[in-house]
Amino acid sequence: MTDLRLVIFDVDGTLVDSQADILAAMGAAFAGAGLPAPSRSEILGIVGLSLPQAIAHLAPEADRALLDAMVVGYKSAYTELRAEGGVELSSPLYPGVREVLETLNARPETLLGVATGKSRKGLDKLLDGHGLREFFVTQQCADDHPSKPHPAMLHEAVAVTGVDAARAVMVGDTEFDMEMARAAGLAGIGVSWGYHPVSRLGAAHRVIDDVAALPALLDTLWEAA
């Protein structure tokens, strides 16, 4: 066991607000399949799941071939939207996020990571577009793990960093993030500015309304540990 601490962040709805492109890309995927698009609330309700699981949830009557085609359609539409607007417009950072990452990264005992339902390609594009890659020593994504809320992403993050689960936290906006944290034995910190209402974050240890509150909350949690 080391004295290191690990803060793992979800991406969409936690660090960046990508909902416009998520909604548009999902609409394009359903249109391409000849299906009516789900509502905004239905689409945002599955954010956090890996893409195949998300589309299967939204289109339960579609067969495997159609689901695979819709995944391809979504990825294509999302890539086009990101290319048109650029990462900073397509998936802008929430206010205060960069400053908090800089604050936490400046603490020598604190390591940062991400655990996301994005693909590796999508994550790479986002991190590089915002100049965030340097902050995260572990980057877990959908290409390498089962979909959230399976705890595999968090198990791998603590394993590769050597940080004890009791000194690691998961920060996210969805119930899938909080359930994943609980399954992995980590404290889950929910955020209220993302895509799931606070009422769905029942598995969270704490919920914050302002990212600027995170450093002090982490100090409190670790002092009590």
**Looking up tokens 């995170």, which residue turns up?**
214
- Concatenate the DSSP letters of all residues of 58-112 into one string: H-TT--HHHHHHHHHHHHHHHHHHHHHH-HHHHSPBPTTHHHHHHHHHTSTTEEE
Catalytic residue among 3, 12, 128, 164: 12
Question: In this structure, are residues 207 and 192 in contact, taking their beta carbons and an 8 Å threshold?
Answer: yes
What is the identity of the amino acid at 169? Answer: V
Tell me whether residue 3 is one of the annotated catalytic residues. no
Q: Is 43 exposed, middle or buried (0-12, 13-18, 19+ CB in 10 A)?
A: buried
Look at residues 79, 104, 99 and name the one whose alpha carbon lies nearest to residue 91: 79
144 catalytic? Reply is: no
Please return the burial class of 209, using the count of CB atoms within 10 Å of its CB with bins 0-12, 13-18 and 19+. Answer: exposed
- Secondary structure tally for the chain: helices H, strands E: 10, 6
Work out the burial of residue 83: count CB atoms within 10 Å of its CB; fewer than 13 is exposed, 13-18 middle, 19 or more buried.
exposed
Active site (catalytic) residues: 10, 12
